[in-house]
Amino acid sequence: MKLTFPHVLLAGLMVSTLSAAPAIGAETVKIGYIDPLSGAFANVGEAGLKQFQFVADDINKRKLAGDVKFEIVPFDNKVSPKESLNVLKNVIDQGIRIITQGNSSGVAGVLIDAINKHNERNPDKSILYLNYAAVDPDFTNSKCSFWHFRFDANSDMKMEAFTNYIAKDPKIKRVYLINQDYSFGHAVARAAKEYLARKRPDIKIVGDDLHPIGKVKDFAPYVAKIKASGADIVISGNWGNDIALLIKAAKDAGLEAPFYTYYGGGIGAMTAMGDAAEGKVKQITEWHANIHPNKTEKFANAFNAKYGGPPANISFYYLRVNNEMYMLANAIKEAKSTDPKAIALKLEGMKYEADTGEVEMRATDHQLIQPLYISTVAKAYHNPKDPKTAKFKGTDPEVKYDQEDSGYGFKTDARIEAYVTAQPTSCQMKRP
């Protein structure tokens, strides 16, 4: 089935707390949001929570899931796999049967395994896992699960796009890799080496560092190694403070090499990086605020109006959260059921007209196939006719919006179509 992304946002959109006592014929579905709400990555988790709540409120007000309403229930897992298992037990005890999580593939891996075991033992109390950001490729290959759906492109898909772009630049001869020391960081490093060797065998990997996740406060020693290596570019899958502090250290050391990042535009990163990122930080994402045409513009502006100022200072970032929630709403409406298995059967294979074009939840592995964008940090455009842009210093009208009130936004370098980002899967899915 092919579904249409809802574009009309009701005026005065506000997050509300929903009643757990629905009227006859109605139902409130609680979605357990399991991500860091304390510790080094709390800002990332809090920003994701606000976006889930915001889009859930839109779905409820417009009855996009029919008489079913959504309530987002937050759980703090501190980015700890062990704590996440305790949280999952709490979720199950509360009768919540849909969860969403994104920060850390280490967490995602233990959740997939635990949910598989729980569902096998308790088929009448099954749990559905919607993954919006954990991108270890194994989750839609050797570790694929009927109960798991990923709405972000996996790290191999992103590296395929990045290395296609890099391979076209003959000036790039030396590449440095720096990543967090866990499954996702390992996957990024592996794919970078493998894909560059195939596409540009003349490129030399001059460094391959793995560092503890969320523990490094000073990246100066790492940057010194990068500088000494003579790298032309740096590739990093770092996220949260680990990318922001890395870029700041690079600026302080006078490192000129551009950074090709997965999360250079992630929550809090632009605020921390400031002018250190201009022209030097690239990202690969499913959306950014200055794509053209920008069908998400009104929604993003409404979100930013609510959360863009102090103290939160959050900018809309995750188009994939919208895709996840709207596709979930449509699956429930089509299934006429809130049972996890019924929803899963409607989600798999779903083709959906998202704001950036058609996306497909591939039935074989539950991986969303979607277009991606490579973009670079640039000064936001100062429009002499618009007083709202008085603080901006840029001259390129393509950079209409800044991020996190920083004065800097992203400019598109390339759009990679969905069929290009799609990769074969080794998934041998076991269905209930």
Encode burial over 173-205: b for 16+ CB neighbours within 10 A, e otherwise. Answer: eebbbbbbebbbbbbbbbbbbebbeeebeebeb
Residues with Cβ within 8 Å of residue 260, at least 6 apart in sequence: 162, 166, 233, 234, 235, 236, 282, 284
Round to whole Å and give the CA distance between 215 and 185: 14
Is pTM beyond 0.75 here? yes
CATH number, domain 2-153+294-369, options 3.40.50.150, 3.40.50.2300, 1.10.10.10, 2.60.40.10: 3.40.50.2300
**Contact between residue 374 and residue 284 where contact means Cβ atoms under 8 Å apart:** yes
- What does the pLDDT read at residue 116? 98
pLDDT band for position 112 (50/70/90)? very high
- What does the pLDDT read at residue 309? 72
**Contact between residue 50 and residue 312 where contact means Cβ atoms under 8 Å apart:** yes
Residue 13 has pLDDT above 70, yes or no: no
Share of the chain above pLDDT 70, in %: 94
- What does the pLDDT read at residue 271? 83
Amino acid sitting at position 360: E
At 153-185, the pLDDT tens digits run 999 999 999 999 999 999 999 999 999 999 999
Residue 25 has pLDDT above 90, yes or no: no
- What does the pLDDT read at residue 299? 97
- What does the pLDDT read at residue 8? 40
Mean pLDDT of all residues in the chain?
Answer: 92
Round to whole Å and give the CA distance between 172 and 178: 17
Q: Residues of CATH 3.40.50.2300 domain(s) within the chain?
A: 2-153+294-369, 156-285+372-416
Q: Around Cβ 37, how many Cβ atoms within 10 Å? A: 19
Residue 414 has pLDDT above 90, yes or no: yes
Average pLDDT over every residue of 22-45: 85
CB hemisphere CA count around 354 (13 angstroms): 27
The SS3 call for residue 321 is helix
pLDDT band for position 280 (50/70/90)? very high
Residue 209 has pLDDT above 80, yes or no: yes
Residue 17 has pLDDT above 50, yes or no: no
Tokens representing 410? 């992203």
Tokens representing 118? 């729980």
**Hunting for tokens 């076991």 — which residue is that?**
430
- What does the pLDDT read at residue 88? 98
At 52-80, the pLDDT tens digits run 999 999 999 999 999 999 999 999 999 99
At 290-331, the pLDDT tens digits run 999 999 999 999 999 999 876 777 899 999 999 999 999 999
Round to whole Å and give the CA distance between 15 and 50: 8
Round to whole Å and give the CA distance between 306 and 312: 10
- What does the pLDDT read at residue 308? 84
Region 156-285+372-416: CATH code: 3.40.50.2300
Residues with Cβ within 8 Å of residue 352, at least 6 apart in sequence: 2, 3, 5, 323, 326, 327, 330, 358, 359, 360, 361
